[in-house]
Amino acid sequence: MTGGSMPLPPFAAIIVAAGSGSRAGQALPKQFADYRGKPLVVHSAEALVDAGANPIVIAIPRGAELQAMTALGDFPQIRFVTGGATRQQSVYNALEELAEFEPSLVLIHDAARPDLPRDVIERLLNGLRQHHGAIPVLEVVDTLLQADGDLMGETAPRGTMRRVQTPQAFHFGSILGAHRGWPGEPVATDDAQVLRESGGDVVLVAGDERLKKVTFAEDFAEARVTQPSPAPAPAPASAPVRRAAEQPPVRFGTGYDVHRLERGESLVLCGVELDHTHGLAGHSDADVGIHAIVDALLGAIAAGDIGDHFPPSDPKWAGASSDRFLAHACDLVGNAGYRIANIDVTLVCEAPKIGPHRQAMRERLAAICDLDLDAVSVKATTSEGLGFTGRGEGIAAQASAAVVLG
């Protein structure tokens, strides 16, 4: 409970985040794209967690498990389910996933509505005291009409029209039964429609303009422009404010990493496991090549370093494959409005010989980053017997990366 808010009855929640979001023009599905400093879906998840929702099932696209876990893996209330070909199918899959918990009430929300006021949740749950369902709506203030191609058709009576938002609230048994009994193809775009088809009544409660749906590329661009800068010191008063459209067309970053060699450890370099007497020691799989590349990509977009995103103090990254770190860095590059032009990494070691494995390493890095092979360079050198690498105590890697707008 926050401030003077009244305690809410126990409820579960579903977040629909299984679409492609193609109209948003982002480098990845919009629900995982950066919006005001965090993935879009995280905003509504945090609001529901703060309001007490438990459990929360999020319907995600097939194959998006890594993106979902990276964004939301810190929330113990959350579990994931693969969505369907339509919104209704995704909701139904999530409802069946929730069924084992037998919740009394459930809120169903769209990930594309990140600003979720608590008072809307309160009004919805209050509406369920006497009704099977409750939905937030806004009055229509503009004239409505039916289009006849490019010509104006008949006007519609706006006095009886309402704009429907999410989340929508339901008695769990009622909405699950309505979905199970839905006739025909699962193409309904609104859960209240499904409930009403089954005979349930739905009360209208006041919505909120803050529940705006993030849909188009300009919504993300606007968020980047208006988001406060995280810079530690204010810019001089005379410095110009850089807008999203004025970002530099090309940016560069560099990275450097070292791990020690130990017996009994596996040796993974640039995503490829090598047969060697010693392996690299570290909290994760200690892939020194990928770690340097990650820092180069993060440096190119000024997003900190690998330790900021995957702190070695966090036990969940123990033994983790560094592929995950690189995929996350690539996503952040896309979220910032850039794409990777090329990456270049140099491995420094006396042994093993890197030459026989260079092509496999390039292919693996290209696959993780979704790059053409000619955009990935892997080189190797020795330190002529000098220093820790020369003595065979460890392996170092230095990387650079270029990113371009678009």
Q: What are the tens digits of pLDDT across the range 313-332?
A: 777 777 788 899 999 999 99
Residues recorded for the chain: 406
> Which of 48-57, 206-215, 262-271: highest mean pLDDT?
48-57
pLDDT band at 220 (very low <50, low <70, confident <90, very high): low
- pTM (2 d.p.): 0.55
Alpha helices in 336-394 (DSSP H): 358-369, 387-390
DSSP state of 316: G
Residue with token string 């530099």: 248
Alpha helices in 198-239 (DSSP H): 217-226
Amino acid in position 103: P
- Label the pairing between strands 133-139 and 144-148: unpaired
Rounded CA gap, 322 and 317, in Å?
9
pLDDT by residue (tens digit) across 123-177?
999 999 999 999 999 998 888 888 888 888 888 888 888 999 999 999 999 999 9
